A and B are shown apart, each in its own frame.
Chain A
C-alpha cells in the first residue's frame, strides 16, 4: 500500500514543524501557491511503520549474499557511517570558512594522498560525485589536453565491446565519437584490431583492468605503448580496482587518467542506487586540468584550491565539493584498512572468486573463460542450460532470489551469451560461498526435473515477475494526477 493510500485529510506528524505558521504577506499573491501540494497526511508512527515495512522488502548486503558482478557489494563498516554523522560534521556548511574547516580539509587531503599512493597517479581530485561523473571528468581532461596542444583532429575515443555502458556515454558527453574494439576469445583485447583503428583521430582509449569479463588484461603494457605512440591517452575505469588493490597500480600500467568508485573499492554504502563518489587521478601531464575544488596543505594549514589556483581546470562538477559524506566514509575505511589491509582486499576477493569458480566448474557449470585465472569476479555462461533445458540466465537469477541470494549481474557483458557475472567480494566467509554453490546445484537439478519451477520464479518474494512491457507502454510514474 502506498503512503498516499494511508493519508487522511487533516492528519499530520505535528511535532516536526514549527508550532505556528508565520505570515507570508510580503510575498505577492501572484507568486504564491493557490492550494497545498498533494503530499501524504500521516502520523509520525504511520510513516515510521510504512518505511520500516518497505525496507523489509529489500535485499541488501546487511541481509543477503549479494554477488552482483562489477558492483563490489562488500560489507560497509558501520564506523564510517557513525563518524561521518558526528554532529559537527553534519552541521558544517559547505561555505564555512577555512578557519572552521581544518579538520574536515585534513581528512580530504589525507584521502587524496592515500588514493594517489594506491593508484600510482601523480595527483587526485575528489570532487566527482560518482563513477560516471569521474569518467566525464577524465575524458574532459583528455580533451582539454589535446585542445591545449592545438591537436584538434582527435575526435574518437576507443572502448572495448565489453565496456560498461557509461564509457561510451561519457565519451559522447565530452563531444567525442566512439569506436568499439573487439575482445579476443581469451578475454583479452584483440590487439591486432586495436592497431588497425589507432591513428591521428584517436583521442584515447577507455579500459577496465581487470576487464569486465573478469580477467587481467595481460598485454596492457603493449596496449599503453601503442596508444601513446598514436598520440592518444589511456583512461582507466576503476570499477574493478578491488581486484588489484596493493598488487598493481594503474599509474604503473601506463594509464594517464583514472576514476575510482569509492562506493565499490572503498566500501561506502550503495544506498539503493547511490550516492557514490568517483575521484579522479591523473599523470603529470593532465594535472593542470583536474576538476576543482581540491585540497592543498602547506605544512601548516589546509586550504581549498579553486579557479584562481587552477586556471586550466576543466571546472566544477557540482555546486560544492562533491559527495563529502561519502568521501569521509571512504577515508575512515582506508584508515582502518591501512597499508596491510589494502592488499588483503585484492587477495581475499580474488581467493573467494577463484574458489567459487573452481567449485562451480566442478559442479558442472560452464565458465566463459575456463583457461583464465579469475580476478575478483568471473563469468558463467548458461548457454547450455538455455538450449537444452529451456531455462535461461534470467530464470536462474530469479530462482536464486527464492533461496535468499541476490542475483549476480545478468546479461552483462553483452558479448557472452546467457552470462552471470559473479563477484563474491572479500568480506564473505567460506560457508556463505559453499551455501551459494549448493543453491546453484539445487537450481540446476530443478531446471532438469521441474523447469517450470525455475521459469516461474521467484515464488516467495513480495511480487512475482513484473510486466515490464506494460510498465513502459502504460506509463504510470506518479499517483498524483
Chain B
C-alpha cells in the first residue's frame, strides 16, 4: 500500500491488542447514516512512473516562454545551493519549532533571517514571515490601526500607484474590521504619488500612509517627503518595498528626517532611526523563491522596536539555556492565537518557513555585494529594454520618474492584442495595465531582470516590431501568421 507500511501480520496483531475484529470496527462511533460510499469521482491511484509521465507532459504543454513580466514576481537567478539545502529533510519535514531544544537549526536560521531583514530594511525588528507581500501589507495596516492610538479613525491612505492586487487583497482582509482605504492619485507625468493631492489630506484623521518603493509602475517615490508628511500629520508610515531594490535604495528605517541623512549622522553614536518608516513589509519572492506560478513566496514584516508587541506572526529570540549556553526560542508568544485566542494580533499560525529558509541561505550566499550587483543589473537591463522598445515607431515611455527595474510603455496598438501575439511567439511581453489603469491607454509594464541578456532584449524588440507592423496593417487579425 503506498506510504503505509503495515503487513497483514501487523494488522492482525494490532487489531487483537485493540480487541476488535476489523479496522472497520474502529469507526463504530460514526453514525451509520453519515458514512459515505466509494468515492467514485476520484481516479484510481497512480504509480510514481505514471504520475511522472502525467506531470512532465503537463509541464511541457506550458512551455518556457521568454519572460519580461514582473508586476510583483521577478525572475531572478537562485544559487544552486539554496534549494539543495532548503530541501534537506531536516528543514523540509520539520514543523513550527515549538520544542526549541529539538529545533535549534530552524530557530537559529530564523534568528539569522530576522537579523538580515533588519539589516536590509534598517528597521529594528522583523518577524519570521507572513503568507505573501499582499497579505503582509494587510497585516501591517491592521497593526498600524491598532498601534496608532492618536488616530480615532480607522482610515488608511493608499496610493493608486500601489500594486492593484495588493489594494484588492488588503480590502478583502481588513474590510470586516471597518478599516477604510482612501486612494491617493498619482502624478500623470512623473508616475509618482501626487504630493499636492496628499497635501489636500493634511490635518485629516488617518491612522497611516502606505508608501510603496518602487511603486507598481517601477517608479521611485519621494519617500523622504512622504514619510515626513505622514509623521507631521500624526500618521504611521508603512513602507512596501522590494527587498532586492533595498540593496541599492535607501532603507525604510532611514526615510524622512527632512531629506537626505548625512553619512556621518549614521555613525553608531546617533540613534539608528532619526525618523524612518514605522512598519516595513513586502514580497520576499525576489530573495530566492522561484516564480512557480505565484507561490509559495513569503511576506516579510519589520517594524520599530516600539511596535514589536503589535506584530503578528512568529518571532524568535536569542536567550540562554540552563547551563548559560546560547540558544534560540519562539518569543513574545502572548501576541499569538495559540495563547491569546480571540485577542491575538492575528490569526496566523502556519507561515512560509521553508521559503524563508531558502531566503536566508540566498542572502548569506549573495551578501550585500551580490544583491547590489543583481539590483544594478536588473536596473540596467530594464533601461536597455526600454531604450530598445521606445526606438520602435509609436512606442513611448509613459512616465518621466526614475525607475528601479520596471517601466511603463505605451504601445501604438491594443496592448492586450500585442501581448497575445507576442506570447504566441514565445515572448511574455509584460503586464497589461489597461484593466487596472484604463487612464493610461495601451500601457504595458515591462521588466528585464539580470537573467535577460542582449539577445533576449533584441528578440523582444524585433518581435514587437513585427507585431506592431502586422497590427497596423490589418488590425482585426489576431493570428500570428509570420
Q: Which residues from chain B contact A359 at a C-beta distance below 8 Å? A: 17
- For residue B477, CB closer than 8 A to chain A, the reply is no
Q: In whole angstroms, what is the CA distance A175 to B94 when docked?
A: 34
> With A27-B402, A32-B250 in contact, do A216 and B30 touch (Cβ < 8 Å)?
yes
Q: Of residues 241 to 263 in B, which have CB atoms within 8 Å of A's CB atoms? A: 246-251, 254, 259-261, 263
- For residue A368, CB closer than 8 A to chain B, the reply is no
- For residue B462, CB closer than 8 A to chain A, the reply is no
A354 to chain B, nearest CB (A): 5
A16:B91 contact, CB within 8 angstroms:
no
- For residue B388, CB closer than 8 A to chain A, the reply is no
A62:B6 contact, CB within 8 angstroms:
no
Q: Which residues from chain B contact A398 at a C-beta distance below 8 Å? A: 99, 101
Q: In whole angstroms, what is the CA distance A267 to B292 when docked?
A: 19
> With A131-B350, A464-B321 in contact, do A318 and B45 touch (Cβ < 8 Å)?
no
Q: Which residues from chain B contact A177 at a C-beta distance below 8 Å? A: 342
Instruction: Tell me how many residues of A have a C-beta within 8 Å of chain B.
Output: 205
> With A26-B402, A59-B99, A476-B318 in contact, do A358 and B18 touch (Cβ < 8 Å)?
yes
A480:B295 contact, CB within 8 angstroms:
no
> With A21-B372, A31-B220, A344-B1 in contact, do A275 and B296 touch (Cβ < 8 Å)?
yes
Q: Which residues from chain A contact B75 at a C-beta distance below 8 Å? A: 91, 93
> With A83-B51, A463-B100 in contact, do A340 and B26 touch (Cβ < 8 Å)?
no
Q: Of residues 108 to 158 in B, which have CB atoms within 8 Å of A's CB atoms? A: 108-109, 111-112, 114-116, 118-120, 124-126, 128-129, 131-135
Tell me the nearest residue of chain A to B130, going by C-beta: A129
Mask, B415-447, CB within 8 Å of A = 1, is 000011001100010010000000000000000
Mask, A5-43, CB within 8 Å of B = 1, is 000000011101110111110111111111111111110
A350:B41 contact, CB within 8 angstroms:
no
A28 to chain B, nearest CB (A): 6
Q: Which residues from chain B contact A412 at a C-beta distance below 8 Å? A: 338
B36:A55 contact, CB within 8 angstroms:
no
Q: Which residues from chain B contact A22 at a C-beta distance below 8 Å? A: 373, 376-377, 379-380
A249:B36 contact, CB within 8 angstroms:
yes
> With A60-B93, A88-B63, A269-B93 in contact, do A166 and B364 touch (Cβ < 8 Å)?
no
- For residue B56, CB closer than 8 A to chain A, the reply is yes
Q: In whole angstroms, what is the CA distance A17 to B102 when docked?
A: 35
Q: In whole angstroms, what is the CA distance A208 to B404 when docked?
A: 48
| Most-contacted residue by chain B among A91, A263, A340, A352 (CB, 10 A) | A91
In the complex, how many residue pairs between chain A and chain B have their CB atoms under 8 Å apart?
703
A60:B23 contact, CB within 8 angstroms:
no
Q: Of residues 64 to 100 in A, which have CB atoms within 8 Å of B's CB atoms? A: 64, 66, 68, 71, 73-77, 79, 81, 83-97, 99-100
- For residue B473, CB closer than 8 A to chain A, the reply is no
Q: In whole angstroms, what is the CA distance A317 to B136 when docked?
A: 10
- For residue A430, CB closer than 8 A to chain B, the reply is yes
A341:B45 contact, CB within 8 angstroms:
yes
Instruction: State which of B119, B254, B283, B365 has its C-beta within 8 Å of the C-beta of A13.
Output: B365
B114:A16 contact, CB within 8 angstroms:
no
Interface pairs (9), CB distance under 8 Å: A12-B369, A50-B364, A79-B51, A95-B428, A165-B349, A171-B342, A319-B169, A465-B321, A480-B116
User: Which one of B65-73, B198-206, B273-281, B391-399 is at the A interface?
Assistant: B65-73
B354:A165 contact, CB within 8 angstroms:
no
> With A56-B105, A99-B423, A318-B169 in contact, do A165 and B45 touch (Cβ < 8 Å)?
no
- For residue A148, CB closer than 8 A to chain B, the reply is no
| Most-contacted residue by chain B among A273, A406, A468 (CB, 10 A) | A273
B35 to chain A, nearest CB (A): 6
B371:A103 contact, CB within 8 angstroms:
no
| Most-contacted residue by chain A among B134, B223, B321 (CB, 10 A) | B321
B368:A18 contact, CB within 8 angstroms:
no
Instruction: State which of B4, B10, B249, B347 has its C-beta within 8 Å of the C-beta of A427.
Output: B4
> With A31-B250, A169-B347, A339-B43 in contact, do A90 and B81 touch (Cβ < 8 Å)?
no
Q: In whole angstroms, what is the CA distance A263 to B173 when docked?
A: 23
B290:A169 contact, CB within 8 angstroms:
no
B85:A48 contact, CB within 8 angstroms:
yes
- For residue A450, CB closer than 8 A to chain B, the reply is no
A348:B6 contact, CB within 8 angstroms:
yes
- For residue A230, CB closer than 8 A to chain B, the reply is no
> With A3-B364, A88-B59, A348-B6 in contact, do A321 and B376 touch (Cβ < 8 Å)?
no
- For residue A279, CB closer than 8 A to chain B, the reply is no
- For residue B269, CB closer than 8 A to chain A, the reply is no
B338 to chain A, nearest CB (A): 4
A107:B58 contact, CB within 8 angstroms:
yes
Instruction: State which of B47, B57, B119, B350 has its C-beta within 8 Å of the C-beta of A132.
Output: B350
Tell me the nearest residue of chain A to B339, going by C-beta: A165
